[in-house]
Amino acid sequence: MNSLATTEPRSAKYALYQNLCERLQELLGDEKNFIANAANTSALLFQNLPDVNWVGFYIAEGQNLVLGPFQGKPACVRLPFGKGVCGTAAKQRKSIVVPNVNEFSGHIFCDTASQSEIVVPLLNWGKVLGVLDVDSASLNRFDDEDKEGMESIVAVFLASQVTNDMPDLSEEAAVS
């Protein structure tokens, strides 16, 4: 008897993020302006992700993250690298999923309604350009599927920034 290999059906989250990535590519089109694309990205996510209360960007400036385009309540303006979820993600250069912000040592409360958070760094050849921050008023809102989906969103966003004028920040370029 032959058995067919089974594959797991794609989850609803996977389909949502795939759709968002496609829509984001269309929305950003040929636009290269960082602020305009960050504004449209945060608006698209805020309008289409269920159970989120804040979506936005923080932009690297020296050793701080400075508030950029966002959707939601007014937010903290400056966050030092290494402080809070955003600063920690920037310093570690990796995405962070926080199921309960009340249990994250050093969490910075910009909106007391936020209970869970996901932060994805924007990296160009290892250099932190900023972070994408998404908050929810629900505990345990984000998981590994959200992490993968948000990292895909960030990849689409960063691809919109690629121009012939972008500096090569790789270590190989620094050596030559």
Question: What domain count does the chain have?
Answer: 1
Residue at 168 is within a domain:
no
Question: What is the reported pLDDT for 175?
Answer: 54
Q: How far is CA 22 from CA 19, 83, 96, 141, 155, in A?
A: 5, 33, 24, 23, 12
Residue 130 domain flag: yes
For position 165, what pLDDT does the model report? 55
CATH at 123: 3.30.450.40
Determine, yes or no, domain membership for 3: no
d(CA 1, CA 5): 13
* 5 falls within a domain: no
Residue spans of alpha helices (H) in the chain? 12-28, 34-48, 84-92, 144-159, 171-175
Please give the order of strands across the beta sheet that includes 96-98.
78-80, 64-72, 54-61, 127-136, 116-124, 96-98
Rounded Cα gap, residues 162 and 176, in angstroms: 22
Give the pLDDT score at 105: 87
Show the domain range for 141.
12-162
pLDDT at 164: 55
- For residue 175, is it within any domain? no
The whole-angstrom separation of Cα 152 and Cα 75 is 25
Determine the Cα–Cα distance for residues 145 and 142; give it in Å rounded to an integer. 8
Calculate the dihedral angle through the C-alpha atoms of 143, 148, 151, 155, rounding to the nearest 10 degrees: -160
Q: Answer yes or no: is 172 within a domain.
A: no
Cβ neighbours around 131 below 10 Å, total: 27
Q: Which pLDDT belongs to residue 111?
A: 80
Residue 173 lies in a domain: no
Chunked into runs of 10 residues, the chain (176 residues) has average pLDDT values of 49 95 96 96 98 97 96 95 96 97 87 92 93 97 97 96 61 54
Structure tokens at 123: 């990296």
